[in-house]
Amino acid sequence: MRLTVTTWNINSVRLRIDLIAKFIKATRPDVLCLQEIKCPDDKFPFKRFRRLGYDHVALNGQKGYHGVVVLSRLPFETTTRQDFCGKSDCRHISVTLGERAGLRDPVSLHNFYVPAGGDIPDPAINPKFEHKLAFLDEMRDCTTLRCNGSDRTILVGDLNVAPLEHDVWSHKQMLRVVSHTPVECEKLTATQKIGNWIDVMRSRVPEPAKLYTWWSYRALDWEAADRGRRLDHIWTSQMLADRVSDITIGKSYRGSTRPSDHVPVTATLEV
């Protein structure tokens, strides 16, 4: 069975619902994972997504900030939420797809929105950066985020770290910029290693190729400057890594009217 999964930090689901609809009509992913939906559960546009074919919704939202959702054309077996750093700030949702979705062996999916961390990479004077580092530590130590040899698990989301040298436009200039500082990169890499995760985006497009999913709103001409970062990720357990047949980064959506600064990333798996 072929399964397509998209991750996208949409930066307000209600503000960009038409852009999401355009993407859905063009791509039709089986599962769409959105981050930073900025929407409480009771204000989520369920009816619009049902008209688009997404009847199954696992939602963890709040007013104003953050929030994650998994939208699916396939039914879920289970849904769970997890809090980190003692905060109920809506940064995680997970689902399991199984027999009801036509799968003989179940697949679990985690959708994350890691804190951005503010602008100053010093936890002593920047509480947002301190929170980000603590969040990454809890991800690393979380036993439910560790894959064994038989697990069929996917982790996606805006992890807000560009961990590799060629995940940013200039490794040297970005070393002191939040999202590519050595401490962040080391913590995210440790989470991946200890959890036995495979970075399937980089398996498909290995370094030294540049790979970006985010371009700043601050750039006067984002496309010409092309000063991007790979902040959005798709990881899988070892069992699924060789089942990934394609990874697509929807760069053109950054050039849409009123875009998100992130673009959709879609993985195709043979499950």
DSSP 16: T
Nearest to 213 by CA among 179, 172, 258: 179
CA 65 from chain centre, in angstroms, equals 16
pLDDT computed for residue 259 by the predictor: 98
C-alpha dist (Å) from residue 165 to 161, 172, 185, 223, 227: 12, 9, 10, 20, 13
Q: How far apart are CA 79 and CA 155, in angstroms?
A: 14
Would you say residue 119 has pLDDT above 90?
Answer: yes
Residue 94 has pLDDT above 90, yes or no: yes
Highest mean pLDDT among 61-65, 220-224, 261-265: 261-265
Mean pLDDT over each residue of the chain, to the nearest integer: 97
Helix (H, G, I), strand (E, B) or coil at 92: strand
3-state DSSP assignment of residue 72: strand
- Position 160 scores a pLDDT of 98
CA distances in angstroms from 221 to 159, 218, 227, listed in the order given? 25, 9, 10
Distance in angstroms (rounded) separating the CA atoms of residues 61 and 118: 21
pLDDT score for 149: 86
For 62-126, list the strands marked E by DSSP.
68-72, 78-80, 92-97, 107-113
How many CA atoms, within 13 angstroms, populate the side-chain half-sphere of residue 101? 25
C-alpha dist (Å) from residue 107 to 78, 96, 193: 11, 6, 20
- Nearest C-alpha neighbor of 123 from the set 166, 187, 67: 187
The predicted structure's pLDDT at residue 41:
96
- Going from N- to C-terminal start, the domains of the chain cover 2-270
Dist CA 181 CA 49 (whole Å): 38
Please state the rounded mean pLDDT for residues 247-252: 98
pLDDT at 220 (0 to 100) = 87
Following CA atoms 95, 97, 98, 100 in sequence, which dihedral angle do they give, to the nearest 10 degrees? 110
| In the predicted structure, residue 251 carries a pLDDT above the cut 90 | yes
> Domain 2-270 adopts which CATH fold?
Deoxyribonuclease I; Chain A (3.60.10)
Segment 134-180, tens digit of pLDDT: 999 999 999 999 999 899 999 999 999 999 999 999 999 999 999 99
Half-sphere CA count of 8, side-chain side, radius 13 A = 29
Tokens of 264: 């959709």
Mean pLDDT of 206-231: 96
pLDDT at 103: 96
How high is the pLDDT of residue 158? 98
Question: Would you state the pLDDT for residue 263?
Answer: 98
Per-residue confidence (pLDDT) for residue 110, from 0 to 100: 98
Q: How far is CA 198 from the centre of its chain?
A: 14
| Pairing relationship of beta strands 214-215 and 197-199 according to DSSP bridges | unpaired
Element housing 193 (H / E): helix 182-194
Q: Supply 30's token pair.
A: 């089986």
Answer whether residue 223 shows pLDDT above 90.
yes
Is 257's pLDDT higher than 90?
Answer: yes
Encoding tokens for residue 35?
């981050």
